[in-house]
Amino acid sequence: MSARSKAASRNSTGPEPLWYKDAIFYELRVRSYYDANGDGVGDFEGLTKRLDYLQSLGVNTLWLLPFYPSPMRDDGYDISDYTEIHPDCGTLRDFKVFLREAHARGLRVVTELVLNHTSDQHEWFQRARRAAPGSVHRDYYMWSDTPDKFRDVRIIFQDFEPSNWSWDPVAKAYYFHRFFSHQPDLNYDNPAVRREIMRIVAFWLGHGVDGLRLDAVPYLYKREGTGCENLPETHAFLRELRSYIDENFPNRMLLAEANQWPEDAVAYLAEGRECQMAFHFPLMPRIFMSVRMEDRYPLTDIWAQTPDIDPSCQWALFLRNHDELTLEMVTDEERDYMYSEYAKDPRMKRNIGIGRRLATLVDNDRRVAELLHSLLFSLPGSPVLYYGDEIGMGDNIYLGDRDAVRTPMQWSPDRNAGFSRADFAQLYLPPLMDPVYGFQSVNVEAQMRNPSSLLHWMRRMLEVRRQHPVFGTGSIEVISTDNPSALAYIRVPTGAEGGTSKPRRTRRAGNGPSPEGTPAAGDAVLCVSNLSRFAQPAQLPLHRWEGMTPIELLGRTPFPPIGELPYFVTLPPYGFYWFGLV
């Protein structure tokens, strides 16, 4: 068996309905990844050439940002044709080759379903603005004679838009837009619009796409006197969408982009009747807060506020993505704190958030980057890595909008970071060239050669995570300790949680023989982290686990068994341990 088919059989994309619970996502822009035809923009042919790299990194699900025809005024979230490929990214044929090659390597593919709005260049809008008021075609969008309706609706792109209504001189009416004025919102009260969306879904799922990220999903329906978010009508539509998909395209996954408080985000999972996954937006800034405050409270507090979810559902956890580090789901005080700590230069602010990458947010401190990833990989949910963060890429805050974090992937110290053979001036964005984060110092080739690089560390961590499915499927028991800088929790296999009784040993159940004292797939895992820049002690009340031996999972070193007294751990600055309990 070749290495490729071995990996594919280990990590098959076959019919496993809950595959997303063990998913490790890698979010990427096709345009930023690798330019095969030398025109200065990444394309599907280039991405296909980089699939071996992605497979060797240890991720198993690729989430692709929009690659559809678009005027590109919102990085492709302004779609002008839903069932084609932007010519810069290649052709539908290139996409099919990419999908087939990704599946052959055991990599699933999640694409974007931008269902709240289109580009104003979409033929639906061009037709609507000319159609007779009240006609089906006019009503693909939302029109008004005044900009006074829906006054309670918040404005999201505060850097750019003074109102959610804009005047269209052709229609001679105002149209509603939740985001940029060139992105008119679709009218979900029109059944023709709902049918169009089902048709788009069928197109991509019919091509074999494994999942869809539902962009900006809370805003679909609008009702006067409400904030027009999370309305019952929106949830009803999602149930209809889910049933349609389950009936026609089994084992596909819907991932909600609902930037909401935990109880509102959970509603998009609806005990498994709407989306299977939702991003945990409020957790993300609190991870950054906890580390800067050296206090676990922000993180444990938001986790305590997070309702339990159905076992068929899963959180998508992330540290950074293609947008700003959003500060919508925090209090005013928390927002001030985040700005003062992480956006010292006002140019780092974007909308209600901070437009920076992970490495720059943590001042390029490798220890903090590792600690944050260890939390991302061990808290309940499926982790989502953002392209380039695996090598510690930086950002360019002098670029407009959110382009700061969308610069070309840094493959090598060669011309244009090895991303493209085009002339530098032709590149869609300049690669980073500063002395700290520039491609001469931060690139895949150099980190591949260096066994102690961040990239190799990431590969090892993902390997350990894959060996222990409890990270994806288990529950969490937070362990209280007197030291606020210490964060401890146990990931408990399903069926072994709860109560004061001793957990049963699960490691022999269905996991085949494993040498005595070696943690196996079914074992519980104790995670202990130090959020402080100084060494810290932690005493952990682990009575329920008395008699078990913690085995450190990276080195497989046995630690002293857990006894009657609180378990004592000494943690180096920003240190963390994952212990299998055997």
Active site residues: 215, 257
Minimum distance, C-beta of residue 257 to ligand GLC, in the bound complex (Å): 6
> CB of residue 179 vs ligand GLC: minimum separation in angstroms?
4
Confirm if 543 and 491 have CB atoms less than 8 A apart: no
Residues that bind ligand GLC (CB under 6 A): 74, 77, 114, 179, 215-216, 257, 322-323
217 vs 268: CA distance, rounded Å: 9
DSSP 71-98: --SSTT-S-S-TTS--TTT--HHHHHHH
Q: Which is nearer to ligand GLC, 279 or 437 (CB)?
A: 279
Q: Which two tokens stand for residue 422?
A: 């085009």
Q: Does residue 378 sit in helix, strand or coil?
A: helix
The rounded Cα 343 to chain-centroid distance in angstroms is 22
Q: How far apart are CA 575 and CA 566, in angstroms?
A: 20
Q: In terms of residues, how long is the chain?
A: 582
- CA gap 292, 282 in Å, rounded: 16
**Whose Cβ is closer to ligand GLC: residue 25's or residue 567's?**
25
Residue with Cβ nearer ligand GLC (217 or 553): 217
Distances (CA, A) of 557 to 56, 238, 367, 466, 513: 26, 48, 21, 19, 19
Q: Using CA atoms, how far apart are residues 152 and 142, in angstroms rounded to an integer? A: 16
CA atoms within 13 A on the CB side of 87: 2
Tokens standing for 463? 């390997």
Minimum distance of ligand GLC from residue 401's CB (angstroms): 9
* Residue 300, token pair as written in the block: 């444990």
Greatest Cα pair distance, the chain, in angstroms, is 78
Shortest Å distance, C-beta 123 to ligand GLC: 19
397-436 as b/e, with b when 16 or more CB fall inside 10 Å? beeebbbbbbbbbbbbeeebbbbbebeeeebbbbbbeeee
CB of 119 to ligand GLC, least distance (A): 10
Structure tokens belonging to residue 499: 């109560």
Q: How far is the CB of 240 from ligand GLC (least distance, A)?
A: 22
Alpha helices (runs of H) in 50-91, residue ranges in sequence order: 51-57
| Residue facing ligand GLC at closest CB distance | 77
Residue 219 or 337 with smaller CB distance to ligand GLC: 219
SS3 250: coil
Give residues with Cβ within 8 angstroms of 411, minimum separation 6: 34, 417, 418, 419, 439, 443, 444, 445
| Least separation in angstroms between CB 99 and ligand GLC | 22
Residues 316, 384: contact at Cβ < 8 Å?
Answer: yes
CB of 177 to ligand GLC, least distance (A): 10
Nearer to ligand GLC, 201 or 216 (CB): 216
Q: Which is nearer to ligand GLC, 114 or 582 (CB)?
A: 114
Given the complex with ligand GLC, which of 77 and 471 has the nearer CB atom? 77
Least Å distance between CB 406 and ligand GLC?
Answer: 10
Give the position of tokens 């049933």.
243
Decide whether 165 or 411 has the Cβ nearer to ligand GLC: 165
Contact 241, 199 (CB under 8 A): no
Nearer to ligand GLC, 43 or 257 (CB): 257
Bridge-partner residues for 376, per DSSP? none
